[in-house]
Structure 1
Amino acid sequence: MNHATKPAFTEKRFILTLVFVTSLFMFWGIAITMADVLNKHFQSVLSLSKSQSGFVQFAVFGAYFVMGVPAGLFMKRFGYKRGVLLGLSLFAAGAFLFVPAANTASFGFFGVALFIVGCGLSTLETVAHPFVASLGDQRTSDQRINFAQAFNAVGAIAGPLLGSYFLFSRHISGSTDLTSVKLLYLGIAVVITAVAIAFSFVQVPPITDPHAVSKNEAINKDTAPGKSLAAHRHFVWAVIAQFFNVAAQAGTWAFFINYGHEVMKFSDTVATNYMSVFMGMMLTGRFLGTLLMRYIAPNKLLAAFAAGNILMCLIVTQCLGWPSYIALLMINFFFSIMFPTIFSLGIKNLGPRTQQASSFISMGVVGGAFFPLIMGQVANHDVAKAYYLPIICYAIIFFFAAKFSRVK
């Protein structure tokens, strides 16, 4: 192997598959940020407190904990393509359930629908990350996953814009009408169903198992086959880091609109439109992060971004007007590379146990179920002070990146 030759981003035969799977990242970006818009909308329409509305995130991210291992087992038995189809089917089914939930105006029913949507998203994330990682040389898997996650950010920009248009711009203060919620999710359900049908006709080229046999460092070879999965320190710490990473993400996103409304005195519509700028910062960070990883080791870049977010959170809590709000926007820039980089660092050199490891790292996303509830308790009194809590999460991510991410 000529080490002077840079490994290719992917292979020509994988391009169509990579394009299609990358598009899936966009769809769950829309779904995740739509949940944050629903959080604020339900506070008004269903008269919920911030801690109560945090149940929206609990339902979605709690599904990740429930579905992580079953999705991994399904993927291992039936393959990547059927795993994607299962995820899309659950996503569409949950979105269709928004129709009866809106008709009954039941927050509990919405919780069930969001949980099923979350099961679909969990399945897609469990399958899509190792799927993208396998479409080429392992040494460029970090770049492929960050590239795909950039389109997750595109979806995250579109989500608040859709929410602002359908839920806030036409909303009459004091109204309890849920027709707009019903129509929005019915449209999403139809689109996702169409995507599932289209993907069922896509011919996925045979993929040589990148987790088993290897003659060189380009393949994800198990460097310690005698160890149990739990004995791989970098994997265990990746699960922990992902738990706190998604906890920080979910809490930060859930109360972003509240911060704009209560601290910056924006209307709900303006605050929601700024959320698209917020997600645009993540998109910028992912493209820049993918570029920087060609020159900076992924774990070092992750550590630098975690340190950046600790500083940003401190500025946000001080209520300095625009300087604090810009710092709040910058949180998403630094957050950008965290999920995919933690994921790719955690599954390196695990050989045939990569898919099982992927399931457990996806289960770490359950952190997003609990943290908004905790942040909501503080935000009920002072939404700015609630942003002290994510500092704990970013400190743990920093230590994972700086010390515990190396494969032994």
Structure 2
Amino acid sequence: MSKQKSYTFAIILITSLFFFWGFIHNLDPILIKHLRSVFSLAHVQASLVDSSVFIAYFLMAIPAGMIMKRYGYKSAILVGLLLFALGCFLFIPAANGLSYMFFLTALFVLSCGLTILETAANPYITVLGDPSRAALRLNFAQSFNGLAASLAPIVGGKFILAEEPKSQEELMALGDAAKLAYIQSETSLVKGPYLVLGAVILLVAILFFFTKLPDIRDEEEVVGKNLFSSLKHKNVRWGVVAQFFYVGAQIYVFSFLLVFAEDALDMPGQQAKYYGALAGLLFMIGRFVGTFFMRFVEAYKLLMLYSIFAALLTLIVIFGSGMATLYALVGTTFFMSIMFPTIFAIGIRDTGSDTKSASSFIIMSIVGGAIIPPLSSSITDMTHNIHSSYVIVLLCFLVVMFFAWNTRPVESLENHSL
């Protein structure tokens, strides 16, 4: 009974982390829109915000796994929280220095912390309880990531997009001193939100430090194994591929939603931010709905169904016109909602003592968020048509659909052959 209680409190505490990294990730679309205007960036240059965030996942996922294997989940979470807070505080000198590269550096440091947090928290919550309900438990925790996704555009829009930024023509009309003063005032808008968030994360780190958490270990794991041994599992290998493409699609859809509204519909940021909030709300609802249906439907079947609907909506974005394309784009977020946690849960399924290294590789594949957005953005810059860039997103959803079918449980394969 006491063990169950300790697991319950641990799940609550770990679930709070899903909210925090969901919130910071969903400030990125606001940041992209803001910095693109302030520094007069092309689409590909603006996409470097995503690249600086998600390259950290590629570089830090394996070190994060090593920290977990050597020191446990709690130590990894504390290191992640401290780097998270440091990255937030670095936004202050970045804004003062008027440097786009400094902003990217701050995002990279922050994301190193997020990498460690996600590498630890995702598998930790799957092993805290009944293994058969791991996907359901992870989807529930990730639902709070969706809650953050619905709140971040509103908060970020209020404090960072306080007023519609000047166009490039208006900037060129300003004198050097006036232009510098304008850029300084615009970059300063990001300091407040990130300073507050950094302070909150430090408080969370202190709470974790003084809280006793269950340290789940496998006896075989304590002895130590080859970090790459997890790749012998088929579901881990396919999980790495599917997560790469899924995260790339998710980041491009969310990060460039406001840019899509501006380019395709000439919609100002102050109006578009509400569609960003709606996308986050649908993302959250999709997670809760998916978590509910996973009580009755196998995870791989639900993942297939969601990926098919996401692909169909993406076809409307590519070939449609007018507001229907924006509604379709926002609608994809509902069907993207269960993809990350479900791919993750299937990917580490039945990996036993290889769970932590499997988690490292699947988290490392989040680097797709650094590669897919620039690739998609380059299509926009080449074709001068943002609709065409979503062909890459369509491909990503088809990969997820194939993953779901290809990694279905052995018992499903046996039933299918009868």
Name the TM-score, length of structure 2 as normaliser: 0.89
> CA offsets per residue over residues 333-377 of structure 1, 9 Å max, x none?
000000000000011111111001000000000000011111111
Check conservation: 2:164, 2:270, Cα contact below 8 A.
no
**Could you tell me which residue of structure 1 aligns to residue 397 of structure 2?**
394
Shift in Å at residue 208 of structure 1?
Answer: 4.8
C-alpha distance in structure 1 between counterparts of 2:34 and 2:391, whole Å: 25
**Could you tell me which residue of structure 2 aligns to residue 121 of structure 1?**
114
Matched ranges for 1:265-280 at <5 A: 265-280=266-281
**Does residue 180 in structure 1 map to residue 173 in structure 2?**
no
**Could you tell me which residue of structure 1 aligns to residue 31 of structure 2?**
38
**Could you tell me which residue of structure 2 aligns to residue 288 of structure 1?**
289
Q: 377-386 or 269-278: which moved more?
A: 377-386
**Could you tell me which residue of structure 2 aligns to residue 51 of structure 1?**
44
**Could you tell me which residue of structure 2 aligns to residue 190 of structure 1?**
199
Matched ranges for 1:149-228 at <5 A: 149-170=142-163, 172-173=165-166, 174=171, 175-176=182-183, 177=185, 178-204=187-213, 206-209=214-217, 211=218, 228=229
**Could you tell me which residue of structure 1 aligns to residue 341 of structure 2?**
340
**Could you tell me which residue of structure 1 aligns to residue 329 of structure 2?**
328
| AA aligned opposite 2:367 | V
Check conservation: 2:34, 2:165, Cα contact below 8 A.
no
**Could you tell me which residue of structure 2 aligns to residue 75 of structure 1?**
68
**Could you tell me which residue of structure 2 aligns to residue 363 of structure 1?**
364
C-alpha distance in structure 2 between counterparts of 1:102 and 1:232, whole Å: 46
Please list every run of 5 or more consecutive structure 1 residues that lacks an aligned counterpart in the other structure.
1-9, 214-219
> CA offsets per residue over residues 261-302 of structure 1, 9 Å max, x none?
222332101111210110111100000000111111101110
Please list every run of 5 or more consecutive structure 2 residues that lacks an aligned counterpart in the other structure.
172-181, 412-418
C-alpha distance in structure 2 between counterparts of 1:230 and 1:197, whole Å: 35
**Could you tell me which residue of structure 1 aligns to residue 92 of structure 2?**
99
C-alpha distance in structure 2 between counterparts of 1:364 and 1:143, whole Å: 22
| AA aligned opposite 2:95 | A
| AA aligned opposite 1:179 | S
| AA aligned opposite 1:96 | F
C-alpha distance in structure 1 between counterparts of 2:164 and 2:75, whole Å: 40
Shift in Å at residue 158 of structure 1?
Answer: 1.8
Check conservation: 1:30, 1:158, Cα contact below 8 A.
yes
More helix by share: 2
Give the secondary-structure state (helix, strand or coil) at the position aligned to 1:349. coil
| AA aligned opposite 2:396 | C
C-alpha distance in structure 2 between counterparts of 1:243 and 1:191, whole Å: 30
Give the secondary-structure state (helix, strand or coil) at the position aligned to 1:152. helix
Aligned length: 386
| AA aligned opposite 2:317 | V
> CA offsets per residue over residues 121-163 of structure 1, 9 Å max, x none?
1111000011111110100011110000000111112211121
